[in-house]
Structure 1
């Protein structure tokens, strides 16, 4: 009998990479001050995070096909936890960046192996519905990270944040040790990575799906990258920036309701993705117009809601032709879009203009969907 993992554990594991990124966002001004670096330099930690995350996606995705899903998950979480402890005691910015990169490498297991385990356990409409739950979790997780990060930043600065991340690692390792089954099929072909890579690199649809997944993430994470400095320029502190997560939570709820409702009405994934792309671009333009006041949070709601509709429908359908090598295909697909996210957020950090950045990548979404 095939063992099916707990949906709630899967949602938690899918959420935690996003939580550990956004919990760090409110403390960026503190890091810039403590380590005496500019806001632009401090912002680049996000691009470093996603670049290291991309390497981790490949490593753990391939490991899942060789070592098994459960063992790979436990190893990745352990690496993440040790790196979080190291970051807490970093004595200079270079050490902080290094441990931050290592923690991202370990945390990548929560994304790629979780997706692989879901593809092991579900297919068709069932997989789309499960990824709908994942989409809700992914959308909520930045809100949780943002709010808790704002409180921790005010209480203990960056060290308080990394202490919380270390504790999270312990909790996840214990939960997975007790509740996580092995879902790797008994009969699985050893991945021919060179052949698989050639097939995926020549697949136009894979490239366009990767671009859209990356662009959705960039428009969402641009807020967590630039938001602290936007709020600081308006005279607000880190905790007040964290509270903006409450406002964005409304967008998460709306996106979830829309996605579930339209799936029940037999909307096709392509239609839902079009809806999400259109909403993201409209929200981006709204932020560009209103970013000099707190009213810019209103169109940010639209962006968050669009993320909640677009991402689950993209992820559930992206690798339907690569199910026989789900772990390795997921790893290579993740490498593609996480490298794009890293490069995109590096550009966003350089722009130092939230509205402009969102408009650029909202336009990228539209062109990618048109080409798809």
Structure 2
């Protein structure tokens, strides 16, 4: 590939008529697609599995297929949004999300449900990817982390309501109504985008879809040490959460004997600890900066994961032996996600869609691989000889990896630098 001139990294702020409150609401709805598509139906997952007479591995596919499609689709949505803008991609993606959610509700077999969930995940990719890109369109990196934290606080509120509502709907009216509630949320989000959202990308990139330029952009992004540090932080933190989301309904309901409603309320308390983490993030960022804030949060992460793992190995199998340590993990997660997601996109103001897509792709591919491992590890629960160890050992492992990333790579490369050696090719970046 011939060399192209380089453009130093800049931090433009795009003028936009949307109020700060509307921006945060939009971010909350778009980022909230993830907990709605996962947390809302998790309490119904054992009943759904039994209703279809499906194997545990098939039940896990309803989650992992969604996440795989979610991750891969962002690699397409990102460049498309850099080329045509965020608004049209959001309208297409959210419309498809509603259709796929309705299809999931009325699926006659587990195989069709898996297909519809994959379509749902691909559509969800447009919303979440654009949310991260919108933050970079409108804000410089440090302020972007604070705004992303506010949006993720909204995600936490949505997650708080999702699991209890899903458990209640499943207990009272069956698991299909839990899936229909996802379609209702998608329709509300589509309405907000259609009526209130204004385009945030005012310098569209006409070269964004050219294969040669797109490949060059992705290579430059993937080689950027700041991107690698923050993308790995976000991915390891999300994998810890995903391990809990995928394993907890079977551990809490089938091993520990919780009702679906009680499990939903337990998930709500987990989300509350995450919200606390996002508030802590916003308080620490102006005082400590991004790198030191992440390092402090990793202390909570490691203490939580290690405590959970040690208690389980000592034979303590109870809901609170899992949840009390996990509250610490989730407080750290409330810091690592806004800092990781905004930090990965920060160095690329003119290729925010592509950077957001690649970061999301890495996160979801990692989660997909974790889901495949969990499907095999949880088979013992379906056979009636379950244990909490697949959950607790998994969280422990991820807490160690998160702390190592936060204390090494983020500390060394977490400060984005300007200059030609940190640039995206001009033709791939300019609008």
TM (norm. structure 2) is 0.81
Within the alignment, does 1:294 sit opposite 2:319 as a pair? yes
Aligned to 1:214: 235
Paired residues of 1:153 and 1:160 also in contact (CA < 8 A)? yes
For 2:278 and 2:134, the matched residues in 1 are separated by 22
Check the 8 A contact 1:4/1:183 in 2, yes or no. Answer: no
Detail structure 1 runs of 4+ shifted over 4 Å in the superposition.
none
Q: CA deviation at 1:187?
A: 5.4
Q: Which residue of 2 aligns with 1:252?
A: 274
Give, in angstroms, the shift of residue 24 of structure 1.
1.4
Q: Kindly tell me: are residues 235 and 366 of structure 1, through their superposed partners in 2, closer, same or farther at Cα, counting changes over 3 Å?
A: same
Give the distance between the partners of 1:251 and 1:18, measured in 2 at CA.
15
| Corresponding position of 1:49 | 66
Q: Aligned match of 1:59 in 48, 67, 76? A: 76
Equivalent position of 1:240 in the other structure: 262
Describe the SS at the equivalent of 1:364: helix
The secondary structure found in structure 2 opposite 1:76 is helix
- Counterpart residue number, 1:357: 394
- Distance in 2, matches of 1:217 and 1:101, equals 19
Q: Label 1:84 to 1:101 Cα distance change in 2 as closer, same or farther (>3 A).
A: same
Aligned counterparts of 1:347 and 1:214: Cα–Cα separation in 2:
16
Report if the CA contact (8 A) 2:160-2:272 is conserved.
Answer: no
Give me the whole-angstrom Cα distance separating, in 2, the residues matched to 1:23 and 1:310.
23
Classify 1:123/1:205 alpha carbon distance in 2 versus 1 (closer, same or farther; 3 Å): closer
How much has 1:207 moved relative to structure 2? 3.0
Look up the match of 2:406.
369
**Cα deviation 1:106-165 (Å, max 9, x = unaligned):** 011221111111211111432222112023233343332211111121123331112111
Say whether the 8 Å CA contact 2:67–2:367 is kept in structure 1. yes
Which residue does 2:414 correspond to in 1? Answer: none
Match of 1:33 in 2: 50
Please say if residues 133 and 356 of structure 2, whose CA atoms lie closer than 8 Å, have aligned partners that are also in contact: yes
More helix by proportion, 1 or 2?
1
| Count of equivalent residues | 371
1:119 and 2:136 matched = yes
Q: CA deviation at 1:206?
A: 2.6
List runs of 5+ in structure 2 lacking aligned partners: 1-13, 379-389, 410-431
Give 1:133's aligned residue.
Answer: 150
RMSD of aligned alpha carbons: 1.9
Once the two structures are TM-superposed, the CA of residue 186 in structure 1 deviates from its matched residue by: 3.2
User: What corresponds to 1:145 in structure 2?
Assistant: 162
Is this contact kept in 2: 1:253–1:305, CA < 8 A?
A: yes
Unaligned stretches of 5+ in structure 1?
none
Rg (Cα) greater in structure: 2
**Structure 1 residues 370, 349: CA separation in 2 closer, same or farther (over 3 Å shift)?**
farther
Alpha carbons 2:42, 2:163 under 8 Å: kept: yes
Q: Distance in 2 between matches of 1:63 and 1:317?
A: 22
Tell me if the contact between 2:168 and 2:261 (Cα under 8 Å) persists in the aligned partners.
Answer: yes
Instruction: Find the aligned partners of 2:377 and 2:293 in 1 and give their Cα distance.
Output: 30
